[in-house]
């Protein structure tokens, strides 16, 4: 995109410059000259370098083209921190998170990924933390002081049962002061909820009812399923059979609110998921004028053209 697209008409100056350059090239001799020592003449002339011969002129023409392009004031979409964004991390801290199918454990992997997520956010982004087991808890309200959220992540402890719906509503209350009514256009928060769970809801509010309430507030929920769907990889007292990932419910929560569902079956996959969400939720794309950048590139090409021309014309081949 260009602010002054009409200025692109200046690019018609390039073809005449190319024509002038081609007209100025030396033409091959029309007559042959006899020399007594052709080998000596060949050594004096050196090897031909067709690319080197035209490179300074090509760089010069490129510099002129970029300079003419800069006059039209080009624009480009650039990523910028979205200081209005508020993100609530919601983590499942039920005892099934102690399962070690994801090394060193689901709980430790979730903590590490959450820390990396918070550290990757721009300084002005507000982020908070809520957790749930049999009930929900607001560990840290949305704040731009990320060290508070990092400390809250380190202080998480495990509990019994899984109340996914309660965790959703806890995050909703933190973002919109507990109201589930749809705000007006100028009040609508730039907010998102990132919810991670490894199990099935067995306590508190129904997750799909909670998702419907979140939807009315215009907030999207991005859900992350940790572990495996179906039977658990390891059946022990922390992760009994039948208490494994309920991917269908997490997918429906994301679909209801307009978010997206992710699934992670390893610590590296979980880190990749959080990294992707950090880039998409905390940054915005805006069109900005890049005339200065294009002009700077034109200057570099011009300097390169002058440098190569000086080097090749003063150097004995």
Nearest alpha carbon to residue 95 among 244, 238, 246 = 238
> What's the confidence (pLDDT) of residue 164?
95
Q: Cα 298 to chain center, whole Å?
A: 29
Q: Which residue has the higher pLDDT, 78 or 271?
A: 271
pLDDT tens digits, 125-182: 899 999 999 999 999 999 999 999 999 999 999 999 899 999 999 999 999 864 434 4
pLDDT digits (tens, 9 = 90+) for 215-261: 998 899 999 999 865 444 444 444 444 456 889 999 999 999 999 99
**pTM summary value:** 0.67
Average pLDDT, the chain: 80
Q: Are strands 136-143 and 126-132 parallel, antiparallel or unpaired?
A: antiparallel
Residue 208 pLDDT exceeds 90: yes
Contacts of 222 (CB under 8 A, 6+ apart): 192, 193, 194, 195, 254, 259, 260, 261, 262, 277, 281
Q: Is residue 7 part of a domain?
A: no
Q: What is the pLDDT of residue 304?
A: 84
Same domain, 117 and 65: no
Whole domain around residue 302: which residue ranges?
Answer: 51-74+290-317
pLDDT tens profile 156-167: 999 998 999 999
Residue 111: give its domain's CATH number.
Answer: 3.40.50.410
For residue 177, give the DSSP letter: T
pLDDT of residue 260: 94
- Does any domain span residue 16? no
> Considering the domain boundaries, does residue 297 fall inside one?
yes
Residue 201 region by backbone torsions, left for phi larger than 0, else alpha for psi between -120 and 50, else beta: beta
Q: Quote the pLDDT of residue 240.
A: 47
| 181 and 92 part of one domain | yes
Percent of the chain with pLDDT over 90: 36
Write down the pLDDT at residue 115.
94
pLDDT for position 186: 46
Q: How many domains does the chain have?
A: 2
Residue 47 φ/ψ, nearest 5 degrees: -80, 140
Residues 257, 271 contacting (CB under 8 angstroms): no
Query: Per-residue confidence at 49, pLDDT binned at 50, 70, 90?
Result: low
Region 52-60: mean pLDDT is: 77
């Amino acid at each position: 995109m260009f602010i002054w697209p009409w200025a692109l008409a200046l690019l018609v100056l390039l073809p005449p410059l190319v024509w002038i350059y081609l007209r100025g090239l030396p033409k091959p001799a029309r007559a042959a000259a006899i020399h007594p020592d052709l080998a000596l003449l060949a050594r004096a002339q050196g090897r031909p370098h067709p690319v080197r011969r035209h490179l300074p002129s090509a760089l010069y023409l490129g510099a002129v083209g970029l300079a003419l392009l800069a006059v039209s004031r080009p624009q480009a979409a650039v990523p910028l921190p979205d200081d209005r964004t508020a993100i609530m991390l919601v983590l499942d801290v039920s005892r099934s998170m102690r399962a070690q199918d994801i090394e060193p454990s689901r709980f430790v992997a979730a903590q590490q990924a959450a820390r990396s997520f918070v550290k990757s956010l721009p300084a002005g982004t507000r982020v908070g933390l809520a957790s749930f087991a049999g009930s929900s808890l607001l560990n840290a309200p949305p704040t731009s002081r990320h060290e508070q959220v990092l400390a809250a992540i380190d202080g998480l402890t495990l509990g019994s049962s899984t109340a996914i719906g309660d965790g959703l509503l806890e995050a909703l209350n933190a973002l919109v002061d507990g109201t589930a009514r749809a705000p007006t256009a100028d009040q609508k928060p730039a907010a998102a909820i990132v919810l991670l769970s490894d199990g099935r809801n067995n306590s508190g509010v129904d997750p799909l009812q909670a998702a419907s309430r979140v939807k009315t507030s215009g907030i999207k929920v991005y859900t992350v399923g940790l572990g495996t769907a179906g039977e658990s990889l390891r059946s022990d007292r922390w992760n009994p059979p039948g208490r494994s990932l309920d991917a269908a419910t997490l997918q429906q929560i994301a679909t209801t609110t307009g978010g997206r569902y992710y699934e992670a079956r390893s610590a590296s996959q979980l880190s990749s998921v959080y990294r992707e969400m950090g880039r998409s939720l905390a940054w915005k794309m805006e069109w900005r004028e890049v005339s200065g950048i294009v002009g700077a590139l034109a200057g570099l090409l011009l300097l390169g053209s002058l440098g190569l021309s000086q080097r090749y014309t003063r150097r004995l081949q």
